[in-house]
Amino acid sequence: MFNISDYKATPLGSILTRGQEEQEKLLEASFSVPKNIKTILTSAKTASFIHGLAKNFRLSEKVSPIIAFAILQITLAEKTIAQLPSMLSTELKLPNDQAQKMAKEIEEDLFAPVIQELEVFWTKQKEEEPAQKATERANQGGAKNVLNLKEAQRPPTPPWREEN
């Protein structure tokens, strides 16, 4: 039987706690994640790890989706791994030292086995990011006709140029 609360404790399942538009955006973003990393994002093992983490830090199991969402944001390169302690501290209202400790555990137990693959993915994301963000920002600002020349296909060369 499908267990929703366990699914919400997985990083991908944690998007259920967000609005419809954000859910779609994050789901779309998760498609570009490599297979091995995506398994971590959806696995029941990750949910158990997050539940255990919450229990160790004497937090309610209800905060699991919050931790899972922080992990998702880092995986999708929306936030950096250095930002994890401050995110946990703010979202879970944890003391700074506790948040640091929790972030370290996540880094070592969850990200470490796939860190090389993750770094490749993050680098790739960063390369694509500025162009994407420029278009997104322009569109959010109300502009509807901004053309990203970096991403746009090169127009065909006119025949007289080819001759030259």
Partner 1 sequence: MLIASTPLITWAQTEVVEQIETTEKDNIRMAHETEEQLLALGCERVLITDKQTLASAKSLDWFAVIPVDANGEAVAMCSPNIVQLLKPLEPGQVLQAGGVAVAPVSTNKNSGAKPALTLSKIVQNILESIANQMLSLGKKFFTAVSWGIGPALTVSNFTSNDATLAAWPIMLGIANLGFLLALITIALLVTLRSSAGGGAKKLLPRLLIGALLINFSLIISGAIIDLSRLLMIFIVNMLGLGNLNESFFAHIQSAAGIDATSIFLTQYGSALEGWSKTGSLFIEAILMWALTIAVVIMLLTLIIRYIALLLLVIISPFAYLAFAFPGAQKIASAWWSYFMRYVLFGPIVLLLIAIAVMAAGGLSPSFFPKTYNGVLAYAFLRVAIFITGFIFAATVGRSAGIAGSSMILNTASRTGKKARSLAYRSTAPARNVVKDAGRGLGEGARSRIPRRIRPIKRDKNGVPLKGQRRPIAQSLGSGLVGGKYDRKQKREANEAKKRFTPTGSTPAARTASVKGNTAWNPSKLKTAHVGESISQDNRKTIMSTGSPEQKTALAGNAEAVRKMGSSEKDFILNLDVNLPTSPSDPDRDSNKKENSINRDIQKAFHSAVSKLDKENG
Give the residues lining the site for partner 1 (CB under 8 A). Answer: 1-4, 7-8, 12-13, 15-16, 23, 27, 31-32, 34-35, 38-39, 42-44, 60
The distance of closest approach from Cβ of residue 146 to partner 1 in the complex, given in angstroms and rounded to an integer, is 26
Contacts of 151 (CB under 8 A, 6+ apart): 131, 135
Select 17 or 132, whichever has its Cβ closest to partner 1.
17
The distance of closest approach from Cβ of residue 90 to partner 1 in the complex, given in angstroms and rounded to an integer, is 23
The distance of closest approach from Cβ of residue 4 to partner 1 in the complex, given in angstroms and rounded to an integer, is 5
Give the separation between CA 99 and CA 1, rounded to whole angstroms.
34
CA-wise closest residue to 68 among 3, 5, 13:
13
Select 35 or 144, whichever has its Cβ closest to partner 1.
35
Ramachandran bin of 147, using left for φ above 0, alpha for ψ from -120 to 50, beta for the remaining angles:
beta
Select 16 or 143, whichever has its Cβ closest to partner 1.
16
Q: To which H or E segment does residue 117 belong?
A: helix 115-140
Select 38 or 79, whichever has its Cβ closest to partner 1.
38
